[in-house]
Amino acid sequence: MVRSASLVCKGKLPVLLIAGALWLVRPGAGFAAQQKASCDAQPGFAKVGKLLGKKEYQGAKEILSILQACPNLSQLEVFNVGWLYGRAHDFSQALKIFDSVPPDVPDQLTHGYAIALSQFELGSYQPAIDGLNKLRSQGAFDAKCADLLGVSYSKLGRYQEAYPIMAENLQHNPTDPFAHFNLITLFVDAGETAKAAQVADNAVAALPRSAEALVMRGSIKMSQSRFEAAYDDFSAAADISPHSPDPRFFMALSDYKQRKFAEGAEELKAAIRSGIVDSDLHYLLAECIIRMNSSSSSAALAELNRAIELNPKSVSARTLRGKMLLEAGHPQDALIDLRVARELAPNPERDSRNATYLLARTYMALGKRDQANTLFAQVSSQFILNNLDTLNELGNRKMKAVLHP
């Protein structure tokens, strides 16, 4: 299962996975012979594990549906089928299967956690809280349960109830990165940036080889406009994780924010030469090229073409390329990119304002005044005056993703 969209939750069900293989309690030899005669489930489990490793979720679910119909599956194997449905992101089916086996399979803690995690992923936060509190009252509670309980309270905005759980968990597990990261995000969500920064300092001290801790702390510093200090954290993260694109992107963004466009461009070119393949690096390089020399449209367009080749759904690259095409007198070509950008924005009201404004200008250039005016009405004049910055939108989204994994 995946991390939560708001706080980090240890939701990959690690107790059932060892080195990418499936965690399965093997039955005795006699049962194994009977199982093989009726339905050899183990090869199916192995195939599912490989498909999940490649994120081929639909193929995994097709095999799981066959396994689910196998006769003579043990209760533990049925539970494992549900567990793997969860890893395939089908939490509704996972929950149905967990509910179909006794609550002590494979044990009370794992079973209760699996149900709560499935409920959490389905957005049923209160039932997840109720189940986890029941486990705690029964003495079947561990660090991953505490993580999930704190996250669940936070998703409901109940920060005062989340804090003591997370703080206690961190006290008992000072080397657990998730305990640090959850608390950082809790304070960010609560608007307590100074406290978030303090926890981030503690996380970096406790986890000196964690690139994620450094990137989180750097993102907090960037949100405080401490760009040089943020750059230092991102640079240290890049040293630890040289093949990760995010630290390199944020290093260049820190340069960009300080109007060091040439330095940012060199950081990005070095990252690309090192073999990092990432659409956003090419997009930011295009922004730097434009700022360095507004007449270098061909070089900037080449980077945007590459960004869109790598990620056709890049809202930022589509928006900037549409803007450049519009300004170059090609509104019909701009129309394609800007329509796509507006349709693909994660949150249309927040993340497609630039695309909306530019699309309105494009319609105006094409003589479609009614369509243009409809879109102009969706963008405030204050935004038009102060916030026509596609890079800010992307940077904010990426920082939010870091601070709200």
Token pair recorded at residue 158: 């109940």
Token pair recorded at residue 75: 């209760």
Cα separation values, 169 from 85, 142, 197, 200, Å: 29, 9, 19, 16
Q: What is the mean pLDDT of residues 343-368?
A: 84
Residue with tokens 């299962």: 1
Position 383 pLDDT exceeds 90? no
pLDDT tens digits, 122-164: 999 999 999 999 999 999 999 999 999 999 999 999 999 999 9
CATH placement of domain 314-405: 1.25.40
- The pLDDT mean for the chain works out to 88
Position 386 pLDDT exceeds 50? no
Q: Which CATH class is domain 1-155?
A: mainly alpha
Is-contact 17 23, C-beta < 8 A? yes
Dist. CA 249–CA 234, nearest whole Å: 9
Position 361 pLDDT exceeds 90? yes
Q: What is the mean pLDDT of residues 309-329?
A: 96
Shared fold status for 1-155 and 314-405: yes
Q: Where are the domains of the chain?
A: 1-155, 219-311, 314-405
Is-contact 18 53, C-beta < 8 A? no
Where residue 380 falls among pLDDT bands split at 50, 70, 90?
Answer: low
Q: What is the mean pLDDT of residues 70-92?
A: 94
C-alpha of 177 from chain center: 16
Position 283 pLDDT exceeds 50? yes
pLDDT of residue 24: 41
pLDDT of residue 348: 58
| pTM summary value | 0.82
Token pair recorded at residue 191: 């608007």
What is the torsion angle, in degrees rounded to the nearest 10, for the CA atoms of residue 120, residue 162, residue 144 and residue 115?
A: -30
Token pair recorded at residue 36: 């093989």
CATH 1.10.760.10 applies to domain 219-311? no
